[in-house]
Chains A and B, each alone.
Chain A
């Protein structure tokens, strides 16, 4: 099932635990993500989905267990951690484009400052990526001048500019006006088709059905169910998942 012939999983979480004070947000999570896989994480709010996503590039630290990325345990800090993060793209719910930099600078900053790529080459690549997400004509504007959907597409271009081994999407469409959701999902579906490894925390069931290879259902800090999208949506095994689906799919 892998495209580059490497059968080891790209991400491996082993007995991962995490607390926020007395709240046990991740309980003995075991999960692997294969190369080229599109994994969708769904579940009720407060169930630990975002936290799980954010542990993979260590924006959240973990209290127990371990996370292996591309054969190496996540570095705890310093240059090693920065290098790992440069290989894992992240798209946030609130876009988080650098507010004082133009769209083009947002996309070239990582390649030039982290990778040491020459400005010209980085600019050229940035324009290609902005073309791909349909924002090339806005390259010299500032983030606040763009719509939410446009900003989120820039955020995807910014992640792609680092040539990441994987991209994490933390509720990428939750902060968008309804009419802008599709333009972002279209870009994500394109990425999935191109074989990008993706972990997507989302409430967009349409995206899960169309693009996901696997759906993970999280509730109360645990992975309650893992299945193919078809199986999950038509024949969920747990009561918790059936209850959740009945609430979101019936209207």
Chain B
């Protein structure tokens, strides 16, 4: 227990990084995922193929490899640099990799939501003269989002927990990495381990509860 107290400030600072990664990841992956799903259902074959290719490649690649590629390939080899400060740079590299990875899952959740919207909704939208993008934005996606709030919650929970592999992308300042460091110094400590588990649950349980409630409130009556 005293190990936990001794390392608590360190772990808390690390956990704050998990939260920051989660927030950036949630916003960016939702935006990217929406763009991806628009590509996947668009009438333009090139966009459809590109969207499908992206989702199938990224979704089936382990996250640690996506993050390693972001750090080694994109940053070191291709010179993608967000900041001269290594710690800040690696934060954004990981945030980008995590968002790119999670976006594939957001896209697929949304696509299953689009499949719940009856075809007649799209036909009615086209029949009053809305363009493809207008009907997607005003009619199809709003109903699709409402249908998949709960599954999107699961995607977000997975994403929050995935912030603990950030070290694969060269970012070692988050709580799981700090935990490992403390274990190296004082040996494995169950209280430290449980402390981090509880911290994550304190974030992810409300996300699940909130998205579950939201899903019921937003459900579209047909």
- Beta-carbon contact of A99 and B121 below 8 Å: yes
In whole Å, how far is A14's beta carbon from the nearest beta carbon of chain B?
A: 23
Interface 1/0 per residue, B120-146 and A, CB below 8 Å: 110111111111001000110011001
Residues of the B chain whose Cβ atoms lie less than 8 Å from the Cβ of A77? 43
Q: A109–B127 Cα gap in the complex (Å)?
A: 12
Which residues on A are within 8 Å of B, measured CB to CB? 57, 59, 77-79, 82-90, 92, 94-100, 109-110, 113-114, 142, 144-145, 155, 158-159, 162
With both beta carbons as reference points, the residue of chain B lying nearest to A93 in the complex is identified as B120
Q: What band does the interface of chain B fall in when counting residues whose beta carbon is under 8 Å from A? A: 20 to 34
- Beta-carbon contact of A92 and B129 below 8 Å: no
- Asked whether A79 and B131 contact (CB < 8 A) given A98-B139, A100-B220, A144-B221, the answer is yes
- Beta-carbon contact of B120 and A94 below 8 Å: yes
- Beta-carbon contact of B221 and A142 below 8 Å: yes
- Asked whether A92 and B123 contact (CB < 8 A) given A100-B146, A144-B222, the answer is yes
A-B interface, 7 closest residue pairs, ranked by CB to CB distance from nearest: A86-B129, A144-B221, A96-B120, A96-B124, A110-B128, A90-B127, A114-B129
Q: List which B89-131 residues lie within 8 A (CB) of chain A.
A: 118, 120-121, 123-131
- Beta-carbon contact of A162 and B128 below 8 Å: yes
Q: A84–B129 Cα gap in the complex (Å)?
A: 7
Task: Pull 19 A–B residue pairs with CB atoms less than 8 Å apart, ordered by A.
Answer: A57-B127, A59-B123, A77-B43, A82-B126, A82-B131, A85-B128, A85-B129, A86-B129, A88-B127, A90-B124, A92-B123, A92-B127, A96-B123, A98-B121, A99-B220, A99-B222, A100-B146, A109-B128, A109-B138
In whole Å, how far is A231's beta carbon from the nearest beta carbon of chain B?
A: 33
Q: A84–B128 Cα gap in the complex (Å)?
A: 9
Which residues on B are within 8 Å of A, measured CB to CB? 43, 118, 120-121, 123-131, 134, 138-139, 142-143, 146, 220-222
- Asked whether A82 and B130 contact (CB < 8 A) given A100-B143, A144-B221, A144-B222, the answer is yes
- Beta-carbon contact of A98 and B124 below 8 Å: yes
Q: A98–B118 Cα gap in the complex (Å)?
A: 10
Known: A90-B124, A100-B146, A144-B222. 12 other contacts (CB 8 A): A82-B130, A82-B131, A83-B129, A85-B126, A85-B129, A90-B127, A96-B118, A97-B124, A109-B138, A114-B128, A114-B134, A162-B129
Residues of the B chain whose Cβ atoms lie less than 8 Å from the Cβ of A159? 128
Residues of the B chain whose Cβ atoms lie less than 8 Å from the Cβ of A78? 131
Looking at the complex, which one of A59, A79, A99, A142 makes contact with B127 (CB distance below 8 Å)? A59
In whole Å, how far is B203's beta carbon from the nearest beta carbon of chain A?
A: 30
